[in-house]
Amino acid sequence: MATRSFIARPTDTGYAGVYVHYDGYPSARLPLLLTSCRYRFHGDVEALAGYLIDDLPDSAYGWVELGAGLLRGAPEELRHALTGGVEYPSRTLDNVIDTGGAPAAGRLVTPSTTGGLDWGYVLHPHGIEVINLHTEDRHRGPIVDWRTDPRTAFSDFHRLWKPGRPPAVRTRPASPPVATTPAGPHPAGQRTSRP
């Protein structure tokens, strides 16, 4: 089952953006947006919004999914951490037919058209507003600062994403230290150095 979401920019009346069918959970969407803005778009939030919202082909209803192409320019170690080494393209949602049998127009998502969606991501100059669409206040949410490490373990638990609260982050167990010398036999009593 899809986790339906939208990506939008702020407007005078709230926000306006586009539909994204798959992978709408914060744990999937936020790392991709944070990394894309930082590396592919060099911190230019409006360029990121333009690419995802304005440059969508007229024939597209929205996005099926956002892929690793958005990670262009990111360090390989970060790309691998976010994708597990699996590279997949972004795909537009095309060939959608309305109930009358005609091609459906692109879906413009605004505060009044979020029915059936799970999450929203509004690209502000200072960060990404995460809107939980399973709460009473379906128009606002916590802000994730653009400087946030994309490897942050964001929670997908709806109740934690509420306006006025900090971004919902899961705590991860500490990673074991990484050896800085090659693995292999060591003389008795000698240990590998640790960072």
Q: What is the pTM of this model?
A: 0.83
In this prediction, residue 118 carries a pLDDT of 95
User: What's residue 194's pLDDT?
Assistant: 43
Q: Give the integer Cα–Cα distance in Å for 74 and 187.
A: 40
Residue 132 has φ and ψ, to the nearest 5°, of -85, 115
Q: What is the pLDDT, as a whole number, of residue 179? A: 42
Is 18 within 8 Å of 109 (Cβ atoms)? yes
Contact between residue 168 and residue 157 where contact means Cβ atoms under 8 Å apart: yes
Question: pLDDT tens digits, the chain, 195 residues: what are they?
Answer: 589 999 999 999 999 999 999 999 999 999 999 999 999 999 999 999 999 999 988 778 899 999 999 999 999 999 999 999 988 899 988 877 777 777 777 778 999 999 999 999 999 999 999 999 998 777 799 999 999 999 999 999 999 999 989 999 987 655 554 444 444 444 444 444 444
Whole-angstrom Cα distance, residue 168 to residue 150? 14
Q: Within 13 Å and on the Cβ side, how many CA atoms surround 153?
A: 5
The pLDDT score that the predictor gives to residue 107 is 76
Task: Report DSSP state, residue 68.
Answer: G
What pLDDT is attached to residue 172? 60
Consecutive H or E run containing 76: helix 76-83
Hey, which bits of 34-162 come out as E strands?
A: 62-65, 91-93, 108-109, 119-124, 127-132, 143-145
* Nearest of 150, 151, 124 to residue 142 by alpha carbon: 124
